[in-house]
Amino acid sequence: MAYVLKKNVMYMMPTHFGPMYGPRQGKDGEKFACRDNPKSIQYAVSFVTDREQLEALLPEEFEVEGEPVVTVAQNYMTEIEWLAGRGYNTLGVTFPVVFQGKRDRAIGPFLLVLWENLADPILTGREQLGYSKIYCELPEPLVCRGATHVSANWLGFRFMDMTLSNMQEVLPDDFPPRPQSSGTLAGTLHYKYIPKTGDWGDPDAAYATLTPEETPNRVVKAMWRGEGTVRFHHARWEDLPTQFMIVNALHDLQIKEYRGATITQAVGGKDISDQCIVQ
């Protein structure tokens, strides 16, 4: 007898073995509170670029909001409950936007791309949430003579280098304030796109999604501010057959002025089950 998909249960391919477990559905159907995990260290560098270059990377209904400041952030996470204590690393590129749809208006950083070094969060984040996630290798930071170096590579091709230096500890009273709800939709914005099988130029899904900024369980434990630089290296098709156009677009962004660097230690988060469509 063929199986029947249960209602109100999350599945992902392959569906043949039952519901899929992950960050928003545990093995017994439980949710993960994310109060004492993950533990994370984030290294981020920001710079001012050309507005028109960013506008060209946005889908319809999005516009750059305020200064065209790009932030490149590499995050190292450990003790993740839904991975039974394991961890993974990410590299994301964001800049501030406003989304004006037929129904909703939302503001916040637009996640242009998010590299991760583990398949499981890539699959769940792309299919369930609409995050623009792809794979790369993200080695641990190197610290030498007061400077921290982080990098990213794909099957041996190093495509990004970031350096943070002259870091000074920030007092807790000067930590960025928690986001306050103002009645306007706010959070990280994404564009979900999945092609339609057989009709390759048509989408099965094509719409904007929002990760609400409220994350009450996330607590910043320590922070440092200083100087930083970031460089994406030009790639040939032979170097990055499926990603060269992404890396080269980031390589081509004009760096008019660096806006500093941060290192942030934090604990806690959320399972992002509050992800929603904006339209």
Q: Distance (Å, rounded) from C-alpha 251 to C-alpha 231?
A: 7
Q: Which residue, 16, 87, 95, is CA-closest to 54?
A: 95
pLDDT tens figures, 255-277: 999 999 999 999 999 999 999 99
Q: Distance (Å, rounded) from C-alpha 37 to C-alpha 87?
A: 10
Give the DSSP per-residue string, 243-272: THHHHHHHHTS---EEEEEEEEEEE-----
179 pLDDT higher than 80: no
Q: Which residue, 226, 222, 223, 224, is CA-closest to 260?
A: 226
254 pLDDT higher than 70: yes
pLDDT tens figures, 240-249: 999 999 999 9
Asked if residues 180 and 214 have their Cβ atoms less than 8 Å apart, the reply is no
- Confidence class of residue 178 from pLDDT cuts 50, 70 and 90? confident
Asked if residues 194 and 207 have their Cβ atoms less than 8 Å apart, the reply is no
> What's the start-to-end Cα distance of the chain, in Å?
41
Task: Write the single-letter amino acid at 130.
Answer: G
Instruction: Please give the model's pTM, rounded to 2 decimal places.
Output: 0.96
Q: Distance (Å, rounded) from C-alpha 54 to C-alpha 65?
A: 11
Determine the pLDDT at residue 28: 87
pLDDT mean across residues, the chain:
96
Residue with tokens 């490149």, as numbered in its chain: 72
pLDDT tens figures, 2-53: 999 999 999 999 999 999 999 999 998 899 999 999 999 999 999 999 999 9
Q: What is the mean pLDDT of residues 190-214?
A: 97
Query: What is the number of other CB atoms lying within 10 angstroms of the CB of residue 184?
Result: 11
- Confidence class of residue 112 from pLDDT cuts 50, 70 and 90? very high
Fold classified for 37-278? Acetoacetate decarboxylase-like (2.40.400)
Return phi, psi of residue 266, to 5°: -145, 165
CB neighbour list of residue 118: distance below 8 Å, 6 or more residues apart:
88
Determine the pLDDT at residue 177: 83
Determine the pLDDT at residue 253: 98
Determine the pLDDT at residue 182: 61
Determine the pLDDT at residue 184: 77
Half-sphere exposure (Cβ direction) of 223: Cα atoms closer than 13 Å: 15
CB neighbour list of residue 227: distance below 8 Å, 6 or more residues apart:
164, 165, 166, 258, 260, 261
CB neighbour list of residue 221: distance below 8 Å, 6 or more residues apart:
265, 266, 267
